[in-house]
Chain A
């Protein structure tokens, strides 16, 4: 039996259809990623799974229990990291963790011991007695994750865990997620960072505008377009000239991207890059680079969802500012 089983889940807010009949399952001990742009329905889904929102229709079963009927039983076995760090500004790191543990019935000695352990493993030892409001964004994120796992939940829900934090903290959080995975914790992760999904998840669901468009293992997704390769060409003359030359010679060739420096061309099956090199030489272009690009999850995401990757990048930039 799956640890999480979702069937035909819908969520409407004042006429806005945030989630449109999604179905998926998460197996025990799996890291399951929900990947999609902002506003795709990721947080609405996590809120329904954790009991912070009621589905408009559909069913959620967690550990074999109906999540709508046994919300509190389920909440005792899950940990939730929201998309914003929401601990108490006036409490110290240690007090915040101890308070969160107390809500799950942990005895005082146990919660203090566990809180200290977590503070050490998250490199927050030196800041343990400082009020939460004095923490940096990365430190706040780490403490929020520590607060979600202090009661040792069987399932951990992480909503955009590395969003808007520094590189080192993000790396530390990824290490922690891997370590929890190794300990057998089932992890449900939402992100709009494709690299996070690729590095951390066993399986990924692509969600766009409230609909799951694809669910598969990372390796299966990556092998989808294995017959298709892309080659990046860069020339002094720039991408527009390369584009025009290719299109004039082979109108059916797919050009994935055109930039100021060059182009990205899709090579079907065993097509060689030699004809392109000859073409550019005959045109007198001063070629700077010809590089075969291996298919990334980002490419698969773009080809399946049709989403402009720039949209994701802009969302990231907006978030980091």
Chain B
């Protein structure tokens, strides 16, 4: 019971102090909007909204979650308020799940901004919403845990942002968001297969366009493995590096 209460308190505190702050809400809205408009402007001829949607959704989640973790964890550690949480009678696993849940919810909310826009521009009646929801959920989790891994690997907020970009920008081009993996140079393709977003976007393509590179079970399985691995690695680093 204590664990559930502590979990909910940390989540609600983070929501209040970070995620529901006007700058973050506007950023969560503007960012996907900007991506969508960019592709509308740059694409010659008719824009295939359904083709763009998985990529824009994936990017919105990736950037939203990883940016927020740098603030909610790296900043709190720098301010030493994170020590307060480490001193609480809850395990590091529960603590980090609580700290990351806000980012996961933020990522999910970000993903649906482009969907709302697409509703105005395209027919979404053939979309497999179950797969899309599952995809959004798992992309949010893996991206958040990737952000967590980055946040626990650095000391300063600016380092977290820089280190995030080291992962995020290659993913834009390598994960099949806007350039099909089959069109990439042969030597880059193995990189696509070691990046979690490749599998997440493939789930979204499966649900939205009904085309996919891999079977759904494989995509979900790989994302689960990434999630467990990144979370385990991050909590191990916290125990090793932060409890000196």
A and B associate: yes
Chain A interfacial positions (CB closer than 8 Å to B): 13, 47, 50-54, 72-73, 75-76, 80, 82, 84, 86-91, 95, 99-100, 102-105, 147
9 A-B residue pairings within 8 Å (CB atoms): A51-B87, A52-B83, A76-B89, A86-B83, A88-B13, A88-B81, A90-B16, A90-B17, A99-B9
Chain B interfacial positions (CB closer than 8 Å to A): 1-2, 5-6, 9-10, 13, 16-17, 79-81, 83-91, 243-244
Contact between chains at A103 and B81 (CB < 8 Å): no
Q: Which of A52, A54, A84 has a CB less than 8 Å from the CB of B87?
A: A52
**Shortest distance between the CB of A103 and any CB in chain B (Å):** 4
Assuming A90-B16, A103-B10, what are 20 further A-B pairs, CB within 8 angstroms? Answer: A13-B244, A50-B87, A51-B243, A52-B83, A52-B86, A72-B90, A72-B91, A73-B89, A75-B88, A75-B89, A80-B87, A82-B83, A84-B80, A86-B80, A87-B81, A88-B17, A95-B16, A103-B9, A103-B84, A105-B1
**Closest A residue by C-beta to B81:** A86
Interface of A is mostly: loop
Contact between chains at B244 and A105 (CB < 8 Å): no
- Residues on B with C-beta less than 8 A from A13 are 244
**Closest B residue by C-beta to A11:** B244
**Closest A residue by C-beta to B21:** A90
**Closest A residue by C-beta to B6:** A103
**Closest B residue by C-beta to A74:** B89
Contact between chains at A104 and B88 (CB < 8 Å): yes
**Shortest distance between the CB of A313 and any CB in chain B (Å):** 27
- Beyond A53-B244, A75-B87, A103-B89, is A91–B17 a contact (Cβ under 8 Å)? yes
Q: Which of B6, B81, B83 has a CB less than 8 Å from the CB of A102?
A: B6
**Closest B residue by C-beta to A98:** B9
The 4 closest A-B pairs by CB, nearest first: A105-B2, A76-B89, A102-B9, A103-B88
Contact between chains at B5 and A102 (CB < 8 Å): yes
